[in-house]
Amino acid sequence: MCFNKQNHPMMKSMTVVVVGGGVVGFSTAVCIAEALPYCSVTLIADRFTPDTTSDVAAGILICSPFPDIPLEQQQRWFKETIDHLLAIAQSEQASEAGVLLSSGWQIHKELPVDKVPFWSAFVLGFRIMTDRELKRFPDHKFGQAFTTVKCECSNYLPWMEKRFRKAGGQVVKQKVNDLQELSSQGYDVIVNCSGLGAKSLVGDSQVYPVRGQVLKVQAPWLQHFIRDGEGQSYIYPGMHSVTVGGTRQVDDWRLEVDPEDSQDILERCSSLEPSLSRARVLGESVGLRPSRKNVRVEREMVLLGSRQVPVVHNYGHGGWGVSLSWGTALEALGLVRKCLHERPPRARL
């Protein structure tokens, strides 16, 4: 947790703006506001819950590795996130925050390269599935059983916004098309958590959408998650419904629900869990994962107007935004600290 509420000689003498209102944006804003009480922190976004990509996410904590980021760093991000969410899941805030424990199976049609994934030490009770357990999945040769955390962003984002405001944060609904638009505000540091928006906001051509479609169904008898190891098909029981999915359509910008995709999802998931064929569909939704070969968590100096302003980037998490949200927020907080320490406070007239 990033708590540090001691008085600081530069009380509210520095200003930080966070661009982005998804799970990465709010996690980062909360970390900064709670850890740096001498900073005035504003979060700006054009979309908030329930209209963010995070709201579509099933929010189950697992992850695939990014190719060019040290594995130890990715392990730290995952561990910091799951530890943060486990603490919430074990608190009286759990139901309001939408954070719960979830047990189940990840199954594979072929033996995976990593039988023991890099995050296995941080979930609870990770083990290889027994032959008896695998018997119910005849098309699959191998599986992993574990307990992880499910974070329901339709609850978690409003809870995080409340926490941010309690730490003195301000929230502004506004579309930022270009960082130059922020130059007149005189912010000391800009934090870019714009996800897919970074493609236009900072001209990052490495960001691309991976379209995901899910259905919410009423199936209260289902208690365990089932995830196909390729991540194409999954069944995640939650607080109010079961999320079934999904699709991974690269460079597909369509936000409309595709009835053929829905039919395909229900058929695939019913082959894993036949009782789903009796479940009532409550809703369908689409989200565009903000994908990038490697998540970008770094700082750079950007010329805004006549002034060089430090910009801390924290975006490009793909489908792992929830799973790495707190860890990369802490990383971004460390970069913000560096920016502020290297920069004397400007005289305020």
The stretch 162-177 carries a mean pLDDT of 97
More confident residue, 341 or 81: 81
47 labeled part of a ligand binding site: yes
Q: Reply yes or no on whether the pLDDT at 232 is more than 60.
A: yes
Residue 12: what pLDDT? 65
Closest CA relative to residue 265, chosen from 287, 288, 281, 289: 281
Q: Reply yes or no on whether the pLDDT at 334 is more than 80.
A: yes
163 labeled part of a ligand binding site: no
Q: Which amino acid is at 231?
A: G
229 labeled part of a ligand binding site: no
343 labeled part of a ligand binding site: no
Residue 7: what pLDDT? 44
21 labeled part of a ligand binding site: no
Q: Reply yes or no on whether the pLDDT at 349 is more than 50.
A: no
State the pairing for strand pair 225-228/99-108.
Answer: parallel
Q: Is residue 245 within 8 Å of residue 314, measured between CB atoms?
A: no
The stretch 90-95 carries a mean pLDDT of 98
d(CA 76, CA 161): 25
Q: Which fold has domain 14-207+292-347?
A: Rossmann fold (3.40.50)
Q: Reply yes or no on whether the pLDDT at 328 is more than 70.
A: yes
Q: Reply yes or no on whether the pLDDT at 10 is more than 60.
A: no
* Average per-residue pLDDT for the chain: 94
State the pairing for strand pair 280-291/208-218.
Answer: antiparallel
Residue 348 pLDDT class (50, 70, 90 cuts): very low
Other beta carbons within 10 angstroms of residue 263's beta carbon come to: 10
Domain residue spans in the chain? Answer: 14-207+292-347, 208-291
Residue 345 pLDDT class (50, 70, 90 cuts): low
53 labeled part of a ligand binding site: yes
d(CA 89, CA 112): 30
Residue 347: what pLDDT? 43
pLDDT, tens digit, 9 for 90 and up, residues 34-88 = 999 999 999 999 999 988 999 999 999 999 999 999 999 999 999 999 999 999 9
DSSP string for 141-191: SEEEEEEEEEE-HHHHHHHHHHHHHHTT-EEEE---S-GGGGGGGT-SEEE
pLDDT, tens digit, 9 for 90 and up, residues 288-298 = 999 999 999 99
* Sign of the torsion formed by the C-alpha atoms of 63, 44, 52 and 192: negative
Q: Reply yes or no on whether the pLDDT at 9 is more than 80.
A: no
Residue 8: what pLDDT? 45
Q: Which fold has domain 208-291?
A: D-Amino Acid Oxidase; Chain A, domain 2 (3.30.9)
Stated pTM of the model: 0.94
Three-state secondary structure call for residue 111: coil
Q: Reply yes or no on whether the pLDDT at 5 is more than 90.
A: no
DSSP string for 220-246: TT--SEEEETTSSSEEEE-SSSEEEE-
**Structure-block tokens of residue 165:** 């405001």
46 labeled part of a ligand binding site: yes
d(CA 314, CA 319): 14
336 labeled part of a ligand binding site: no
Residue 13: what pLDDT? 81
**Percent above pLDDT 90 for the chain:** 89
Q: Is residue 191 within 8 Å of residue 336, measured between CB atoms?
A: yes
**Structure-block tokens of residue 114:** 């990593």
